[in-house]
Amino acid sequence: MFGVVYGAPESAPAAIVAVAREFSPRVEIYGPREVALDLHGVARLFGDAAEIGRELRRTAADRGLRVRIAIAATRTAARLIVRHRAGVTVIAPGTEAAALAPLPLALLDALANDPNAPNVPNAPNDSVVPSLRRWGLRTLGEFAALAPDAVAARLGQVAVQWQRVAAGEDPRPLVPASPEERFEQALDLEWPIEGLEPLSFVLGRLLEPLAAHLERRDRGAAVLHVRLHLVTRVVHERSLQLPVAMRDARTLRTLALLDLESHPPDAAIDRAIVAVDPTPARVVQYSLLTRPLPSPEQVSTLVARLTALMGEGRCGAPAAVDSWQPGAFAMTPFAPVDSRGGDPAGPAGPTHRQTPGSGPVVALRRFRFPVPARVRMDEGQPARVMTDRRGVSGGAVAACAGPWRTSGAWWLDGGEAWDGDEWDVALTDGVAYRLFRDRAADRWFVAGIID
């Protein structure tokens, strides 16, 4: 048994849906003023169909709503009846076709542009209804009484589907609309608090029920919002974009506290609100053949701690940039790549792996800060390298290659210009270095070690 509530033009759509949800959790919304209810099992609470209809209309009237109500064994029959009759109409089960028979064909036009009507490609007022009127048909019963084979031969299968609608048959099951849930927790404090230590207890008290709510709905947090109402009537708001969907209360609290440590509020707090933007929870499939990566919660917490320690933009993964400048790179968010799948390039570009049978791979391990050096030249080539840095050896040059001269950014005023020569040198002790000579300052540096 299904019920359809059809509101007057001045009715508020949200109010109609709210009234319908008081009687059934399974509600399908057809338009701004029309909803259908699944009334199976509701009779135990409100009585028979007529009593349910009267109670529905009485509840709507208490909210200031003028509605029509129809109750039938099919949603289609109730939707057609509710557009034709005012008040409360109850159709006995098994009599849908007889109840719809005297209704005019024009009622099909009301369902023509409704995406929740039968899944047909053409609207009836474009093809079916005009043809039926030319045949002399005026009611739904006359249309439903035609032979389906004859209708299909003349108007196609689309007309047969609309013929079933005219008989009150449902083209598909009811698809209930999910109610909009707010994943939010708020707490009014008895007295203002200052500092992160008391705030951590408040956040823990808010995030634990929020995490339980996410788990019950099989959701994860994509964005974490923290709103702190200060005694100065100012709202201190922070939003954290989480790398993956997560719902662990301790991890969320740690991330929020680390962010507030870098961006503390300006005054004492008297109200705290925590909300999340939900997203479907992730499904984790582990493997027995590969090493497991740290969980996203552990990685997010570690990155947040390092960011709070080093500052914004100083923690992440390096990525190559389109530049000839030695050592140029960009900082991107750190996101480890699972070897079981995903993009093998990761945030820092492709990972080059040596395959069996391939030749040796030469790698240059650049120093984050080049090591100052003294280089003696002989016939225009490095002959000896000397440094004062422990762990970086010096000595005579056994072989060298270069120079490779690069320069750029000379058109900028921010001091980003470079102009230098690079040499690859192999010392007599077997160590190979990449040397860099700053031509403007005439200084030498050890840029990195060649492995």
Residue 199 has pLDDT above 80, yes or no: yes
Instruction: Report DSSP state, residue 167.
Output: T
Per-residue model confidence (pLDDT) at position 125 = 52
31 lies in the same domain as 160 = yes
Domain with residue 28: its CATH number is 3.30.70.270
Is there a domain that residue 392 lies in? Answer: yes
How many structural domains are present in the chain? 3
Domain extent, residue 151, equals: 2-166
Final residue of a domain: which of 280, 299, 328?
Answer: 280
Closest CA to 113 of 129, 102, 97: 129
Query: pTM for this one?
Result: 0.48
Tokens encoding 277: 């933007």
103 lies in the same domain as 129 = yes
Contact 4, 168 (CB under 8 A): no
Position 229 confidence tier, pLDDT thresholds 50, 70, 90: very high
What's the pLDDT tens digit per position in 336-365? 665 444 443 333 344 444 454 555 667 888
Between CA 303 and CA 296 the distance in angstroms is 10
Q: Residues 171-185: what's their mean pLDDT? A: 81
Domain with residue 242: its CATH number is 3.30.1490.100
Residue 26 has pLDDT above 80, yes or no: yes
Final residue of a domain: which of 216, 250, 280?
Answer: 280
37 lies in the same domain as 161 = yes
Closest CA to 54 of 33, 38, 70: 70
Final residue of a domain: which of 230, 258, 280?
Answer: 280
Question: What percent of the chain is modeled with pLDDT above 70?
Answer: 88
